[in-house]
Structure 1
Amino acid sequence: MFIRQINDRTKISLSVPQYADELFALTDKNRTMLRQWLPWLDHTKEPKDTRDFITAQLSRFTESKALHTTIFYDDRIAGVLAFNTIDSQNRAGHIGYWLGSDFQGKGIMTECVKDLMKIGEDFFSLERFEIRCAVENSKSRAIPERLDFQNEGTIRRAERVYENWYDHIVYGKIKSC
Structure 2
Amino acid sequence: MVSIPVNDNITLRTYVREDADALFAAVNGMRSHLGPWLDWVGYTTKPEHSLQFIQDSLHQLEMQEALAMGIFYDGVIIGGIGMHQWDHRVKKAQIGYWLTKDHEGKGILTESLKHFFDFLFGKIGLNKIEIHFVAANKRSAKVAERMGCQIEGVLRQSAVRNGSIENVVIAGLLKTEWMAAVKA
Q: What TM-score does the superposition give when structure 1 sets the normalisation length?
A: 0.95
The one-letter code sitting in structure 2 at the alignment partner of 1:56 is D
Q: Give the C-alpha shift of residue 125 in structure 1.
A: 1.4
Q: Give the C-alpha shift of residue 42 in structure 1.
A: 2.5
Structure 1 residues 81-96: aligned runs within 5 Å: 81-96=81-96
Q: Count how many residue pairs are aligned between Structure 1 and Structure 2.
A: 177
The one-letter code sitting in structure 2 at the alignment partner of 1:130 is E
Q: Which residue of 1 aligns with 2:37?
A: 37
Gaps of 5+ in 2: 180-184
What secondary structure does 2:68 align onto? strand
Rounded Cα–Cα distance in structure 1 between residues aligned with 2:163 and 2:55? 29
Structure 1 residues 2-41: aligned runs within 5 Å: 2-41=2-41
8 Å CA contact 1:66, 1:83 repeated in 2? yes
Greater mean alpha carbon deviation, residues 154-163 or residues 94-103: 154-163
Structure 1 residues 1-177: aligned runs within 5 Å: 1-176=1-176, 177=179
Q: Give the C-alpha shift of residue 70 in structure 1.
A: 0.3
Greater mean alpha carbon deviation, residues 72-81 or residues 19-28: 72-81
8 Å CA contact 1:93, 1:120 repeated in 2? no
Rounded Cα–Cα distance in structure 1 between residues aligned with 2:65 and 2:86? 5
Greater mean alpha carbon deviation, residues 38-47 or residues 56-65: 38-47
Q: Give the C-alpha shift of residue 124 in structure 1.
A: 2.2
What secondary structure does 2:80 align onto? strand
Rounded Cα–Cα distance in structure 1 between residues aligned with 2:54 and 2:175? 28
Q: Which residue of 1 aligns with 2:182?
A: none
Rounded Cα–Cα distance in structure 1 between residues aligned with 2:173 and 2:42? 32
Q: Give the C-alpha shift of residue 49 in structure 1.
A: 0.4
Rounded Cα–Cα distance in structure 2 between residues aligned with 1:105 and 1:155? 29
Structure 1 runs of 4+ with >6 Å offset: none
Q: Give the C-alpha shift of residue 156 in structure 1.
A: 1.1
Rounded Cα–Cα distance in structure 2 between residues aligned with 1:154 and 1:112? 26
Q: What TM-score does the superposition give when structure 2 sets the normalisation length?
A: 0.91
Q: Give RMSD over aligned pairs.
A: 1.3
Rounded Cα–Cα distance in structure 1 between residues aligned with 2:17 and 2:141? 29
Gaps of 5+ in 1: none
Paired-residue identity, % = 31
Rounded Cα–Cα distance in structure 1 between residues aligned with 2:69 and 2:78? 11
Q: Give the C-alpha shift of residue 14 in structure 1.
A: 0.9
Rounded Cα–Cα distance in structure 2 between residues aligned with 1:145 and 1:62? 31
Deviations 1:77-133 (A, max 9, x none): 111000022111110021011111111111111111121122212332100010011
